[in-house]
Chain A
Amino acid sequence: MATAEHTTATSHPKHRRFGGIWSWVFTVDHKRIGILYLVTAIFFFLVGGLEALLVRSQLAFPGGTVVGPDTFNELFTMHATTMVFLSLMPMSVSFFNIVVPLQIGARDVAFPRLNAFSYWVYLFGALLLNSSYLFGGAPNAGWFGYANLTELPFNNATHGIDFWVLGLQVLGVSSMAGAFNFLVTIVNCRAPGMTFMRMPLFTWMTLVTSFLLVFAFPVLTVGLIELMFDRFFGTNFFNPAAGADPILWQHLFWLFGHPEVYILILPAMGIVSDVLPTFSRKPLFGYPVVAYSGVAIGFMAWGVWVHHMFTAGLGPVADAVFSLTTMLIAVPTGIKIFNWIGTIWGGTLNMKTPLYFALGFIAMFTIGGLSGVMLASPPADWLEADTYFVVAHLHYVLFGGTIYGLFAGIYYWFPKVTGRMLDETFGLIHFWLMTIGFNLTFAPMHVLGMDGMPRRIYTYPTGMGWDLWNLVATIGAFTIGASILVFVYNAMSSVRFGKRAGADPWDGRTLEWMIPSPPPDYNFVQIPYVHGREPLWLEKHPETGLGHGHPVPVPIAGGAPELGEYANGGPTADDLGIHLPDPSYYPFIAALGLALTFAGLLIGKAPPPSWMSVVGLLCLFYGVYGWIFEPVTGY
């Protein structure tokens, strides 16, 4: 990575220092942790994509024989679990890491070592989950693993579900730790003058997302604990024979699961809300409305979970009430879309790849939103539920929405992270190939759904009228695959040979574009004083009069334009007398300990915990205690 030289160069002799690979393993620098998150998330994005391609190959023709039924169940379960928990969420987190501290004018996150801990827990959790492939079989009950199909009497052929339960617990620890960190960071580490109503929209959405995470994840944690106890210790939480209601799992899961949907989409909405103004050279239209509609979505997310259970027979009142709340949530969503159009209206659109993806987001997400309204009406939902219509809807939201938004973010901030531009031509090829492939894959699934094709079937007879559309969808899926390869090539070549970006390649408006690309590890030579909503724009174009209060030039490292001097190094933190937290290996050890503890449970099928859990626990306690009592030099 291009940043390596810059950041390692700057640790002072008297400080603990690690070279080479260790400088990454023990780093507590939010930018490097962000890069680790991004690379890992993209890796798992490819893994999940591969699983999807296998699923599509199996369904390309009636009576497909590419994989067997059990493997098929494992594939779609792991595809969804991987994409949601190992790819999209961490990719958002990587942007929280890289961008948020820069956007609010901070030197790092509030808890740098907790930040490192989150990443390593995420990595180990992801490995734990995927190692299930090696130990007999992967999880096979779908990503929302409805009890009691996940219970031992019906799922004891492999330990897949055990891996799923424990893997998700570990990943939960990571997401929670990360979310706590960003909440404190945004509340407490904003530069002077950076009031909440001056925060860039991406930071706003990070705030909302983190709140959703810390409040929604415990509900899933409880569900997983109950399932784990059922499987490991013979409890009866979801055991009908003991009088339990398996439907309890559906409530617990969707109480988490629906906020989770917004956890996945809100960061992408934040990215789009930052990209559109930059590339139309206009401020975001209706900033407060967009921000508050995000908050409103965050609140409403808690009142709609039952719309995932309209076919569970909860009764007409429940169906009616939750149908209304669900329709209501379309209002703030629509408001965002109209404000985005309002933002580009009257601008001078600089048609670069990030803008293409941001516009693609609006176009595709609108479709997902509209099919969402169709699912919000129970009688219509009774026709659509658990058919391919739902598969189409959720992909228009999570692919057409989240993934488009995240790609917009990647093309937008790649120069900031690496100091080099991603290639435009390949970028546009990627965009158009992906857009065509995406619509080829998922638009036909609406048709398949209304033609009665159930989701999660490994085979279907011919003569159902599903043959053509399945084939089209499969062709589309491989087109998407090709587009992703284009992206991977583009990223790998640009990171080495891409043209130099400079501090502000897009004529940006927010603080991150004030500092060199890649930023020095201390980010800001001098913490800027923020006078307006778009500090950099305000400083570059005082005449546009966006300053709340009269525009005063914001102090910038070496002055904004001639930042080329930083291309190779520039002053180090110690030259400038800035103290940064030292790298630390305790978070790594603690994370390893945590993962080992859970893995041990699994391999030993506790009780009693196998030796692995014991080692893990020791590791964890050593890590935590070392962490707490670690003498902190710096500051």
Chain B
Amino acid sequence: MSETNAVSSSKESRAVRENLHPGNWEYVQIAVVLAIITGAEVMVYYQEAVRSLIVPILLILSACKFTLVAMFFMHLKFDNRIFSIFFSGPLVLAFAVMMAVLSLFHRVLLGA
């Protein structure tokens, strides 16, 4: 590797540090939250009481986990906006298409 490489990369890491990344402690806290949510999900699964609401509850919980990991572990919260666009764009697209196809197959909405 040429030293220009080391230069550019150390510049990169400086840039990253300037992004005020959370430190280990914050990371651990986030992990704990994730663990708790997972626990909650499993609990909900066994709660006969909330059977009627189980689907929305579970979907919301996993959406929270997804967002936490993407925002903090993947640094989208601190990184260049273009990355968020490159990722969330197709994510939304995939979700929309999925919903459309499902509604067609289950003969609701579009498929009515």
Contact = CB atoms under 8 A, between A and B. Distances in A.
Contact present between A and B (CB < 8 A): yes
A318 B105 CA distance: 11
Most buried by B among A187, A248, A315, A633: A315
A631 interface: yes
A553 B82 CA distance: 32
Contacts of B105: 245, 248
A495 B105 CA distance: 55
B71 interface: no
A314 B111 contact: yes
Contacts of A635: 2, 4
A633 B111 CA distance: 58
Nearest to A320: B110
Interface string A591-635: 000000000000000000000000000000000000000011101
Nearest to A183: B86
A317 B110 CA distance: 6
Contacts of A457: none
B56 interface: no
Contacts of A315: 107, 111-112
A11 B15 CA distance: 35
Contacts of A316: 112
A554 B111 CA distance: 58
Given A215-B93, A245-B105, A302-B97, A318 B1 contact: no
A239 B106 CA distance: 19
Interface string B75-112: 00000001000000010010011000100110101111
A321 interface: yes
Contacts of A248: 105
Contacts of A314: 104, 111
A405 B104 CA distance: 37
Contacts of B90: 215
Contact of A317 (B96, B97, B112): B112
Contacts of B111: 314-315, 317-318
Interface residues of B, number: 16
Nearest to B96: A302
Contacts of B109: 317
Contacts of A302: 93, 96-97
Contacts of B110: 317-318, 321
Nearest to A309: B104
B97 A255 contact: yes
A318 B104 contact: yes
Contacts of B101: 251, 255
The majority secondary structure among interface residues of chain B is helix
Contacts of B97: 255, 302
A306 interface: yes
Contacts of A317: 109-112
B104 to A, nearest CB: 6
Interface string A310-330: 000011111001000000000
Contacts of B107: 315
A245 B106 CA distance: 12
**Contact-residue size bin, chain A (C-beta under 8 Å from the other chain):** 10 to 19
A255 B97 CA distance: 9
B112 to A, nearest CB: 5
Contacts of B1: 631-632
B104 A306 contact: yes
Contacts of B96: 302
A251 B93 contact: no
Interface in A172-188: 187
A215 B93 CA distance: 9
Most buried by A among B96, B110, B112: B110
Nearest to B8: A635
Nearest to B82: A187
Contacts of A187: 82
A321 B110 CA distance: 8
Contacts of A306: 104
Contacts of B4: 635
A307 to B, nearest CB: 13
A251 B2 contact: no
A5 to B, nearest CB: 29
A248 B111 CA distance: 14
A632 B111 CA distance: 55
A314 B107 CA distance: 8
Interface in B38-97: 82, 90, 93, 96-97
Contacts of B112: 315-317
A556 B111 CA distance: 59
Contacts of A321: 110
A31 B37 CA distance: 53
B81 to A, nearest CB: 13
B16 to A, nearest CB: 18
A237 to B, nearest CB: 14
A317 B106 CA distance: 13
Nearest to A318: B110
Interface in A183-206: 187
Nearest to A252: B101
A248 B82 CA distance: 34
B2 A632 contact: yes
A595 B96 CA distance: 34
B73 to A, nearest CB: 23
A398 B101 CA distance: 27
B103 to A, nearest CB: 9
A215 B90 CA distance: 7
A314 B105 CA distance: 9
Nearest to A255: B97
B24 to A, nearest CB: 29
Contacts of A633: 2
Given A306-B104, A632-B1, A635-B4, 8 more contacts: A215-B93, A251-B101, A302-B93, A314-B104, A316-B112, A317-B112, A632-B2, A633-B2
24 contacts: A187-B82, A215-B90, A215-B93, A245-B105, A248-B105, A251-B101, A251-B104, A255-B97, A255-B101, A302-B93, A302-B96, A302-B97, A314-B104, A314-B111, A315-B111, A315-B112, A316-B112, A317-B112, A318-B104, A318-B110, A631-B1, A632-B1, A633-B2, A635-B4
Interface of B: 1-2, 4, 82, 90, 93, 96-97, 101, 104-105, 107, 109-112
8 nearest A-B residue pairs (beta carbon): A317-B112, A318-B110, A215-B90, A251-B101, A315-B111, A314-B104, A317-B110, A318-B104
